[in-house]
Amino acid sequence: MARPMLLNAFEMNTVSQSSHGLWAHPRSRAADYNRLSYWTDLARLLERGLFDGLFLADVLGVYDVYGGSAEAALRSGAQIPINDPMLLVPAMAQVTQHLGFGITANVSYEAPFLLARRFSTLDHLTEGRVAWNVVTGFLDSAARAMGRPTQREHDTRYDMADDFLQVVYKLWEHSWADDAVLRDKGARVFSRPDRVREVAHDGPYFQMRGLHLSEPSPQRTPVLFQAGSSTRGLRFAGEHAECVFINGRSPAGAAEKVARLRAAARQAGRRDEDLRVFAGMSVIVGRSQAEAEDKLADYRSYIDPEGELAHFAASTGIDYARHGLDEPIGFVQNNANNSALESITTRSREGAWTKRDLIARMSVGGRGPLILGDPQQVADGLAQWMAEADIDGFNLTRLVAHESLEDFVTLVVPVLQERGLYKRGYGEGPLRRKLFGEARLPDRHPARRAG
Ligand SMILES: Cc1cc2nc3c(=O)[nH]c(=O)nc-3n(C[C@H](O)[C@H](O)[C@H](O)COP(=O)(O)O)c2cc1C
């Protein structure tokens, strides 16, 4: 197989993650996001389709930029209510054997010592199937809820993330030696004190001294996911990330980002093959093209533009309620997600959008790419992205839960397999071994040098 396609389902512990409005579709199960069966059924479905991972996004605030209030977000359920992603994992791990779990946790608000133990616990319980999506946040509403007037400045958040990672790397990789745990009932010795040590960190943001509370888990450091696309974000991804998420509207645009990412990894002393890059993608498949088009028209009739605007306003830090329909959207430097704003303003290669453009393009799949058609057409589209964008796979967005993923597993996966583009069975061992061949990080990764 040339380059096997990797697949994650892109989900969130909330009623409406994106494509806002689709939760109200009569066949959608999204309103049951707070029931365990929603997640265990999803995990079983993904494992049936040999998905590599379930990626769980998360935000810690509410979308209150649009119109200066949370009204539109609350009415449309746009990522509110939102529950903790981590707590879903043990139940899903219990009903699967191989599926990986990418969990988002925000370094601006977590405590490194506690987060390190939570990930180690899950890495043990899942036998090495966890990944951490390292995010720094983009919402002032999250900062206020955590007792700060505003969030830290964009690049400072990445400096702080660097420092946070040094702490957790020390705990995961350098506190317990591989032979520290004896589990020797005869000798009545569980761990060898001489093989466990305190680590210490005296950084600009975090200071600590202590030994890791968990014994070494199968992967030690969870697989590291990241999605930075600003200049500072790319540098961070190049240094630390193993799996990177990108959003690109076209394969050519995505290819540029991928080239920059791989260059950033080389710059950091790592290799091109140390990164797996996933592009966000929405897929609607039918038994025929006409059936897929009918499905899109049906789904589209549920899209809620106010929810979309509330989400996008908070992501970009711009209140579109103040814009006239035909007013071009200018770039205003702010502390939210700069790359999302750049992609639609005067800094975009397509030129500035108006609010009318924005609403027109807010459809099924949000502003991201959509591949639609019969199973062969969908396979063609995915294969073209893989080849032209130099990516390793896709994050498939939630559309109508779980119908859209069920369609994908039933109709598209067999075609990808027939074409030799997709695996026919899982590899053995922990998630990192399935993705990279080794369960532990390579020596050239900064985690290994953090001690
Ligand atoms: C596919 C994808 C998923 C993301 N998931 C989250 C998330 O769950 N929580 C979050 O706070 N940010 C998330 N982000 C935002 C990124 O962490 C990052 O802030 C964003 O890509 C902007 O990068 P920049 O800050 O370097 O410009 C995601 C971004 C992408 C592209």
In tens, the pLDDT along 78-103 reads: 999 999 999 999 999 999 999 999 99
Percent residues over pLDDT 90 in the chain = 85
Which one is predicted more confidently, 306 or 340? 306
Give the DSSP letter string of 223-289: EEEE---SHHHHHHHHHH-SEEEE--SSHHHHHHHHHHHHHHHHHTT--GGG-EEEEEEEEEE-SSH
Closest CA to 103 of 121, 120, 85: 85
**Burial (CB count within 10 angstroms: exposed 0-12, middle 13-18, buried 19+), residue 216:** buried
Q: Which residues line ligand 1 (CB under 6 A)?
A: 57-59, 104, 133, 135, 137-138, 227-230, 233, 245, 247, 280, 337-339, 395
Ligand 1: which of 62, 88, 245 to mutate, most ligand atoms within 8 Å of CB?
245
Task: Measure CA 15 to chain center.
Answer: 17
**Burial (CB count within 10 angstroms: exposed 0-12, middle 13-18, buried 19+), residue 186:** exposed
Which stretch, 7-16, 249-258, 309-318, has highest mean pLDDT?
7-16
Ligand 1: which of 11, 63, 104 to mutate, most ligand atoms within 8 Å of CB?
104
The answer to whether residue 120 is domain-embedded is yes
343 confidence band (pLDDT: 50, 70, 90)? confident
* Residue 341 CA, ligand 1 centroid: distance in Å: 13
* Residue 265 CA, ligand 1 centroid: distance in Å: 18
CA geometry: angle at 258 spanning 439 and 424, to 5°?
50
Q: What tokens does 226 get?
A: 């990241």
Q: How many Å from the N-terminal Cα to the C-terminal Cα in the chain?
A: 38
The answer to whether residue 357 is domain-embedded is no
For residue 278, is pLDDT > 80?
A: yes
- Give 78-146 as a 3 state SS string: ECCCECCCHHHHHHHHHCCCCCEEEEEEECCCCCHHHHHHHHHHHHHHCCCCEEEEEECCCCHHHHHHC
The answer to whether residue 84 is domain-embedded is yes
Residue 2: its pLDDT value, please? 65
Residue 332: its pLDDT value, please? 82
Residue 191: its pLDDT value, please? 98
* Residue 312 CA, ligand 1 centroid: distance in Å: 13
58 confidence band (pLDDT: 50, 70, 90)? very high
The answer to whether residue 348 is domain-embedded is no
The answer to whether residue 340 is domain-embedded is no
What domain range includes position 289?
6-181+188-314+364-449
Nearest-CA residue for ligand 1 atom 6 is 57
Residue 119: its pLDDT value, please? 98
- Contact between 282 and 12 (Cβ < 8 Å): no
The answer to whether residue 393 is domain-embedded is yes
- Contact between 217 and 176 (Cβ < 8 Å): no
Residues near 443 by beta carbon (within 8 Å), at least 6 away in sequence: 449
Number of domains into which the chain is organized: 1
CATH number of the domain encompassing residue 246: 3.20.20.30
For residue 345, is pLDDT > 80?
A: no
* Residue 393 CA, ligand 1 centroid: distance in Å: 17
What is the rounded distance in angstroms from the CA atom of residue 136 to the CA atom of residue 133?
Answer: 10
Predicted TM-score (pTM) above 0.85? yes
Question: To 10 degrees, the CA torsion angle through 74, 75, 79, 83?
Answer: 60
Residue 328: its pLDDT value, please? 86
Q: Which of 103-107, 148-152, 170-174, 223-227 has the lowest mean pLDDT?
A: 148-152
* Residue 134 CA, ligand 1 centroid: distance in Å: 9
3-state DSSP assignment of residue 7 = strand
* Residue 414 CA, ligand 1 centroid: distance in Å: 31
The answer to whether residue 353 is domain-embedded is no
Please name the helix (run of DSSP H) or strand (run of DSSP E) that holds residue 55, with its range, or none.
Answer: strand 53-57
Stretch 58-64: mean pLDDT, rounded? 94
* Residue 181 CA, ligand 1 centroid: distance in Å: 38
Question: Quick one: which atom of ligand 1 is closest to the CA of 137?
Answer: 11
Which one is predicted more confidently, 348 or 220? 220
Tally Cβ neighbours within 10 Å of residue 301.
9
Kindly report the average pLDDT of the chain as a whole number: 95
Nearest-CA residue for ligand 1 atom 13 is 135
The answer to whether residue 428 is domain-embedded is yes
Nearest-CA residue for ligand 1 atom 11 is 137
